[in-house]
Chains A and B, each alone.
Chain A
Amino acid sequence: MPKTEVYTLNMGPVHPSTHGVLQVILDLDGEQVVRATPEMGYLHRGIEKLAEGRTYPQFLPYTDRLDYVSAMGNNLGYCQTVEKLLGVEVPERAEYIRVIMAELNRIASHLIFFGTIAIDFGSATGMIYGFRDREKILDLFNMVCGARMTFHYIRIGGVAEDVPADFVPAVQAFLDEFPALLEEYHGLISGNEIFMYRLKGYAKISAARALELGMTGPSLRASGVDYDIRKVDPYGVYDRFDFTVPLGTQGDNWDRYLVRMQEMEQSARIIRQALDGLPEGPVKAKMARVIKPPAGDVYHRIENPRGELGYYIVSDGSTKPYRVHIRRPSFINLHALDELCRGLLIGDVVAILSTLDPLMGEVDC
């Protein structure tokens, strides 16, 4: 009688489909996954400890490097947390600019999601399309702050400086061509039979279980939970804009994919409204030269492309924070990897990693 046994296969930390330096230790029965254990920490850079040795403004560039493809969002969350502690009110124009930047960054981040999921399934064309169109957004960011990825443009009290004169027409030009791009993606990738076959019906997670696991972001909304911090607990001026929150029904890979594609459309809607309503005025609040928040602690969270990004800052009244903790959505979402992978094949592990969309800079902090 032939005997089988479970064997261990290592995936990563250097692997084209693990979205960075993530190691997944797969216990396999043949090709079926019995257990998938994520092993993290290969990019642990001690950012929380570093914060204790830096002043509040000095720590801002480190937040860029957490979830490095959505740096605007990271900056926004941190700055709003410090502003909450300081009791600073940000000028209107700066709030609108922040929304435009954060939503442009959401589209850029989801384009990376689209590009990487395409290439994980073998479509190099999809990756080229995603990265090609992301370059258009990076040009907009470059125009504003000179950086493509690590901006620290959103500062404590506002933004670093006002947008140049040709920024608004450039964003409008991008938004005008964006629907055609989305159509191209849906035609090439979403409508592709192989793609749909690989995603639909796999790795389902129920709404209740997703909530128990602390999942947030598109991965949670794919299970049908209507929880988007921009709607539920609005920050900045998000409550002034009209947009819907795309939800899934089954919580499978396909829903997690589709929710992100639909979110890009909604982000474009928000940006258009923000451009139309962009008021004149200063872009920086009047603040003391040296930032010294009063002693106390505060927690603030925002809706980053990967989920709920939270900052918990404890101040001892000095110029440097006493403790900074960052609630990282990818780190907590990754807990679901094990139960999503059970019973599926190795190729599905790749699909699950792509749709959970973790980013290792954020996971390892």
Chain B
Amino acid sequence: MTKQMMTKEELAELADRFTPAAEVSGDGVGCALVIAKDRLLELLRYVKEDAGCQFTMLSNETAVEYPEYFELVCHLYSCRRRQMLTVKARSGKDEATFPSLVTLWPGANFQEREIYDLMGLSFTGHPQLQRILLPAEFTGHPLRKDFKAAVHD
């Protein structure tokens, strides 16, 4: 099942183009390219458009909250290479902002709104950043680790 993940060597090659902003993290199925968030769009545009890469499909975009930072995780697929690439970017807890992928993949629209809704991360450049699943007047972001549900009567 791991046949189609990019190998660590291939990721390192890609990271070299963007040093020092990029580095390879993880092992095996969790191998990913971590990039500084101000160069995220540049990297994604490169892997999408470069003839040797052609990671044209954005399979998934999500975010995870770690104790020290927020991490944006994107999974890209290249039909030509038949490989999956995982790209991660980090943001400090106070900033909680990432660049929006909507200019490259309009399909990221709803996914980013969901991340905003449930985790409270903002996306600069998103055309309509508002809640999508929870009611508009809801306060708080449930997927945050410190979220405490209000008590309903």
Contacts and interface: CB of A to CB of B under 8 A. Distances in A.
Interface of A: 40-41, 44, 46, 48-49, 80, 83-85, 211-215, 227, 232-233, 235, 296-301, 308, 310, 312, 314, 322-323, 325, 327, 331-332, 334-335, 364-365
Interface in B83-117: 84, 86, 105-111, 114
Contacts of A325: 60, 62, 64
Contacts of B106: 212-214, 335
A213 B107 contact: yes
Interface residues of B, number: 41
A364 B142 CA distance: 14
Contact of B135 (A41, A296, A300): A41
Contacts of B4: 233
A48 B118 contact: yes
A164 B28 CA distance: 38
A335 B57 contact: no
A314 B77 CA distance: 20
Given A40-B132, A41-B132, A214-B58, A323 B64 contact: yes
Contacts of A232: 79, 82
Given A41-B132, A212-B106, A335-B107, A299 B60 contact: yes
A333 B99 CA distance: 22
A327 B111 CA distance: 9
Q: Is the interface of B mostly helix, strand, loop or mixed?
A: mixed
Contacts of B29: 84-85, 296, 298
Residue of A235, A301, A332 with most partner-chain B CB within 10 A: A332
Given A214-B58, A296-B30, A80 B109 contact: no
Given A212-B105, A214-B105, A364-B133, 20 more contacts: A41-B132, A44-B133, A44-B134, A49-B147, A85-B29, A211-B57, A214-B106, A214-B107, A233-B84, A296-B30, A297-B30, A297-B73, A299-B60, A299-B73, A312-B60, A323-B64, A325-B60, A325-B62, A332-B107, A365-B133
